[in-house]
Amino acid sequence: MATANPSVNVSAKPHQALARTWRPRDFQSLVGQEHVVRALSHALDTGRLHHAYLFTGTRGVGKTTVSRILARALNCETGVSSRPCGQCGACVAIEQGRYPDYVEMDAASNRGVEEMAQLLEQVVYSPVSGRYKVYMIDEVHMLSGHAFNAMLKTLEEPPAHVVFILATTDPRKVPVTVLSRCLQFNLKNLPPALIARHLATVLEAESVPFEPAALAQIGRAAAGSMRDALSLLDQAIAHGGGRIEESAVREMLGVVDRRDLERLLAALVAGDGRALVELADDMLSGNAPFERALLDFAALLQRVALAQVGAITADDEDGSAALLWASRVDALELQVWYQIAIHGARDLPLAPDAHAGFSMVLLRLLAFRPESGGGAAPQPALARPAAPIAAAPIARGPAAQSLAASLASSVASRTPARPASGAPESSFAAPVSSPASASTPSIAPAPASAPLPAISTSPAVPGPAAATVPFDGDWTSLAAAVTAGLQGRAGLVGQFMQQSELLGFDAATDTFSLRVPVRPLAEPALIGKVRERLAQHFGRPMKVAVDVGTVRGTTVAAVRNREQAQANAQAHANIEGDAFVQTLLTSFDGTILPESIQPLGPTGDPTP
């Protein structure tokens, strides 16, 4: 017969996870949700209870815990209050999950309308042993649309003995019809410092030795979740053999040693590239996570930047170190380093290997510096402006060189001089590549066969003190002058002036009768702006009457379109009939691209 091993203590109590052992059992022990505790405590103490509550927040912030505490407060045998006794049968049964009047339902696995119908059938019955029947539906956003619709009426007007508690991590997926029937409480993420202080309290009660720096790392790794922090604390106790040490926690979490980050920052401030390469090699031998290192370095730079603007004091966590570096790092360099660090972490998977990519990011941090920051360090070659590159001449044979020289002299002799300022000019040029000249030749067009109405492009100088001028009846010249006076800020006013035609002008009342092609150009606000521009131009108040219809007369847009079309046609004719261009085409077997021919404007630039 086999005998029991005497070394095994069969009566020993099994270990319970810290997240369950230290789950708050009353509002006073709840950490970091004071705004929720205050509202619920006042409601319980004054009897102003609602029939439906919605708790939102990320995982591990206390949604289920708050719902259990609320159920105990409603059904405690000592009475409804914000301080349940925790000792009566109702409080103990709710804590152990065997209270018949407290039902927790997981909507992720019971999301259909059938499950919701079964739950709602029990709502009408009175509580078995408690004061209220409390239904807690976790992850309520997972319910189907039909399930939500099935519960709407009951959720709006439940029996007096029923309280609904809904919990979700994604309130955006909850229908508005449900949100409007609930009191909503958003449970916030916990800051790392608060998590670290609570973990210290837990470890002191558990008689586990610890290093505060290790708890700070766990607090940051928990990302605002107290449940995750307690789970990581359990893992750290097992990993460290009953002790919580910074080195063991750093190894467990895969985080980077803060001393390596400070070595990196010191090497950058000193401009020591060799030290950066040696740091990368040391981190490789220590099996450091390079992507995590760059992200942690960016976080360090962010704290230094906060210290530079006075948002961190020496009393804050790592405040003294951040203040020390804040006085040594240039603010402009810090911003450049931050961008390089986060982009380097993003691009690290594209590197040949993690170590090579990390080394190049460190050298990039050293190479790129703003001109106004880090003046003591020399500007690296990558950051210097590139020198202008001269175009190398194309080697040609003697015959081609002779032909190019003769063609160039022909162009020089036939290129007209630019007219004096104020004289009209309408030169056209085609971008034909010349082997002998880097500039594009300008070819003067023949005179136009039919003159178009002249449009004045000289900008008017509007202003309240402008002299009073009469209207000469030329609406196109007036519209062009007003449009040019806007100087790139034409907008709808410019469109109105260019697309409108003059129907008449009453000199006695200074009233313009105009017609525009579309209704948006006849809006009262736009007409008011047009009146302001006309008043500035004439130096006196003007009136505008606008009609919407087909524009048949002469407008600025029509004149410019005809002038542009004629100029394009004249430019094409000049290019195709030019002997010099024909010589180029024959000699080099070239082809003219019609769309590349553009007439030149008064300034010598191609017109749009």
- How far apart, in whole angstroms, are the C-alpha atoms of residue 61 and residue 42? 21
49-62 pLDDT, tens digit each: 999 999 999 988 99
Same domain, 236 and 172: no
pLDDT of residue 283: 87
pLDDT of residue 441: 41
Is 443 domain-assigned? no
Would you say the C-alpha torsion 494, 498, 501, 504 has a positive or negative sign? positive
Which of 116, 118, 114, 175 lies closest to 151 in space, CA to CA? 116
Is 9 domain-assigned? no
Of 146, 171, 186, the residue at which a domain comes to its end is 186
Same domain, 152 and 294: no
pLDDT at position 360 over 90: yes
Token representation of residue 442? 């300008």
229-260 pLDDT, tens digit each: 999 999 999 988 888 988 888 888 877 778 88
Query: Residue range 404-417: average pLDDT?
Result: 46
The CATH number linked to 525 is: 3.30.300.180
User: Rounded to the nearest 10 degrees, how much is the dihedral formed by the CA atoms of 58, 61, 62, 63?
Assistant: -10
65-78 pLDDT, tens digit each: 999 999 999 999 99
pLDDT of residue 467: 54
Are 220 and 189 contacting, i.e. CB atoms less than 8 angstroms apart?
A: no
Percent of the chain surpassing pLDDT 70: 78
Query: Residue range 362-367: average pLDDT?
Result: 91
- For residue 186, the surrounding DSSP H or E stretch is strand 183-186
Is 440 domain-assigned? no
pLDDT at position 386 over 50: no
159: three-class secondary structure by DSSP: coil
Same domain, 305 and 368: yes
136-191 pLDDT, tens digit each: 999 999 999 999 999 999 999 999 999 999 999 999 999 999 999 999 999 999 99
Query: Residue range 350-364: average pLDDT?
Result: 92
Which of 532, 531, 536, 529 lies closest to 466 in space, CA to CA? 536
596 or 202, higher pLDDT: 202
Mean pLDDT for all residues in the chain: 78
226 Cβ contact partners less than 8 Å away, ≥ 6 residues apart: 31, 32, 60, 61, 62, 190, 195, 198
104 or 380, higher pLDDT: 104
Residue with tokens 């609930």: 182
530-545 pLDDT, tens digit each: 888 888 888 888 888 9
pLDDT of residue 596: 74
Same domain, 177 and 234: no
Token representation of residue 252? 């467990």
- How far apart, in whole angstroms, are the C-alpha atoms of residue 62 and residue 195? 13
Is 608 domain-assigned? no
89-111 pLDDT, tens digit each: 999 999 888 999 999 999 888 88
Backbone angles phi, psi at 237, to 5 degrees: -65, -45
Which of 335, 310, 336, 332 lies closest to 323 in space, CA to CA? 310
Is 528 domain-assigned? yes
- How far apart, in whole angstroms, are the C-alpha atoms of residue 37 and residue 40? 5
Neighbours of 425 (CB within 10 A): 16
Same domain, 237 and 370: no
258-275 pLDDT, tens digit each: 888 889 999 998 889 999
- How far apart, in whole angstroms, are the C-alpha atoms of residue 360 and residue 340? 11
pLDDT of residue 478: 85
Of 149, 168, 186, the residue at which a domain comes to its end is 186
Same domain, 224 and 274: no
441: three-class secondary structure by DSSP: coil
Same domain, 241 and 281: no
Are 172 and 21 contacting, i.e. CB atoms less than 8 angstroms apart?
A: no
Neighbours of 167 (CB within 10 A): 23
pLDDT at position 337 over 90: yes
pLDDT at position 332 over 80: yes
For the chain, how big is the Rg over CA atoms in Å? 41
The CATH number linked to 117 is: 3.40.50.300
pLDDT at position 29 over 50: yes
Residue 197 binned pLDDT confidence (cut-offs 50, 70, 90): very high
Tell me the residue length of the chain.
608
Same domain, 594 and 531: no
**82-86, 132-136, 279-283, 590-594: least confidently modelled range:** 590-594
pLDDT of residue 562: 75
Specify the amino acid at residue 126. Answer: S
Same domain, 176 and 29: yes
Is 422 domain-assigned? no
- For residue 264, the surrounding DSSP H or E stretch is helix 258-270
Q: Which domain, by its residues, includes 61?
A: 18-186
Specify the amino acid at residue 318. Answer: D
- For residue 196, the surrounding DSSP H or E stretch is helix 192-206
- How far apart, in whole angstroms, are the C-alpha atoms of residue 278 and residue 265? 14
Is 314 domain-assigned? yes
- How far apart, in whole angstroms, are the C-alpha atoms of residue 519 and residue 527? 12
Express the helix, strand and coil content of the chain in percent, nearest 5 each: 50, 10, 40
pLDDT of residue 315: 67
pLDDT at position 201 over 60: yes
Question: Domain count of the chain?
Answer: 5
Same domain, 545 and 565: no
pLDDT of residue 605: 56
465-510 pLDDT, tens digit each: 445 778 888 888 888 888 777 655 667 788 888 888 888 888 888 8
Of 379, 410, 439, the residue at which a domain comes to its end is 379
Which of 233, 232, 228, 193 lies closest to 62 in space, CA to CA? 228
Same domain, 540 and 511: yes
The CATH number linked to 213 is: 1.10.8.60
Residue 15 binned pLDDT confidence (cut-offs 50, 70, 90): confident
Q: b/e string for 93-103 if b means 16 or more Cβ within 10 A? A: bbbeeebebbe
pLDDT at position 374 over 70: no
pLDDT of residue 318: 67
Same domain, 208 and 264: no
Number of H helices, E strands in the chain: 23, 10
545-569 pLDDT, tens digit each: 988 888 877 787 777 777 777 777 8
Is 81 domain-assigned? yes
Which of 96, 126, 120 lies closest to 16 in space, CA to CA? 96
